[in-house]
Structures are given as C-alpha cells and as structure tokens.
Amino acid sequence: MTRVTELLSQEAILLHLEAKEKIAVIHELARPLVKNGIVTNEKEFFAAILRRENLESTGIGLGIAIPHARTKAVKETALAFGRADHGVDFSSLDGKPSHLIFLIAAPEDKKTEYIMTLARVSKLLRKDEVKAALTKAETPKDVLNVLAQYE
C-alpha cells in the first residue's frame, strides 16, 4: 500500500490553521489540494465532504478529526494535514475539540486505497507518541518525518 508520507505533500501541511469552525477548516485544508490539481472540481468535492459530515461526524475523539470523501472530483488519493491549537468542534463522540486534522481525498474508483489510507491514518493518530510529536512539529518537514518514523 502507498505510504501516508507519499500521499502528503509539504504544501498540504498547515501548522497554523486560521479557521475556527469545522467547515471553514475543511475549506482551508482543501485549498492546497485544489491548487495542485488533485481536486478537480471543488464544488463537487465539497458536496461529498459535507454529505458525510452532515450524516455523521468524522471527529474520532482524542483531539483528532479525519474528514474524508471518495468522489469523481478527485484525481488521485491525497492528504492534507492541519493543526489547530485553538481546537475545532467536530462533534466528536468524546465531546472534545479536534486539534489534529487530516483531510483525505480519494477518487471514486479507488475504494481499497481509500479504506487502507483511512485505516493507516486512524491507527497512526491514536498513538500518543505520534500525537505528541505532531503537536510539537515546527515545520512541514518535521510532520513528514514523524509520520515516516511511525508508519
């Protein structure tokens, strides 16, 4: 399977998310993926993301959220990562705000890769040492190094 670090570019790592609200945060995270052409239809991509968020929260608890969508509006599987020191309300089951947010975008016909990526990211982010290292990372390169170390 493709490694998480191969799906995440430095440009898609935002260590100081400005947005405070869930939907605005997802927009902010999606911007680099739109800019580099991975998301080919922003409107359609957002419709897919919002449909899922409206159905059920993608906040998995422990300060983590993984908004995700598999849609024709995406050219290839890619990630964006953002850190929100202020915390964002993703309506997580544990009621806690999310500080580490991974956006996962995948083409409609790449279901296996999409599921594998979700599983890999979820597993990584539940490790206390990974969360601590991502919280302390000072540069996008640091984030990639942390993920490469623990993957």
Partner 1 sequence: MLDKLVVFVEDRSISNQAVKWTLSLARRLGSRVFAVYVIDTNTMPEGPDREKQLSDTEENAWKILYEIEDAAFEQDIRVSLLLNQGNPLERLLDLCTSYEVQLLVLSSNTGLAPAELVKRSTMPVVFVNELRRCDDQSD
Q: Which residues bind partner 1 (CB under 8 A)?
A: 51-52, 55-57, 60, 70, 93, 111, 114-116, 118-120, 122-123, 126
Q: 36 or 93: whose CB is closer to partner 1?
A: 93
Q: 39 or 66: whose CB is closer to partner 1?
A: 66
Report in angstroms how near the CB of residue 119 gets to partner 1 at its nearest: 4
Alpha helices in the chain (DSSP H): 4-7, 22-35, 42-55, 111-125, 128-136, 140-150
Report in angstroms how near the CB of residue 37 gets to partner 1 at its nearest: 25
16 is catalytic: no
Q: 61 or 97: whose CB is closer to partner 1?
A: 61
Q: 14 or 60: whose CB is closer to partner 1?
A: 60
Catalytic pick from 16, 27, 68, 99?
A: 68
User: Helix crossing, 42-55 with 22-35: angle to 10°?
Assistant: 150
Dmax over CA atoms of the chain, in Å, equals 36
Are 88 and 22 contacting, i.e. CB atoms less than 8 angstroms apart?
A: yes
Closest C-alpha among 89, 28, 24, 29 to residue 63: 89
Report in angstroms how near the CB of residue 139 gets to partner 1 at its nearest: 27
Burial group, residue 40, by CB count within 10 angstroms (0-12, 13-18, 19+): middle
Token pair 């906040």 is found at 59
Report in angstroms how near the CB of residue 53 gets to partner 1 at its nearest: 11
Catalytic residues: 68
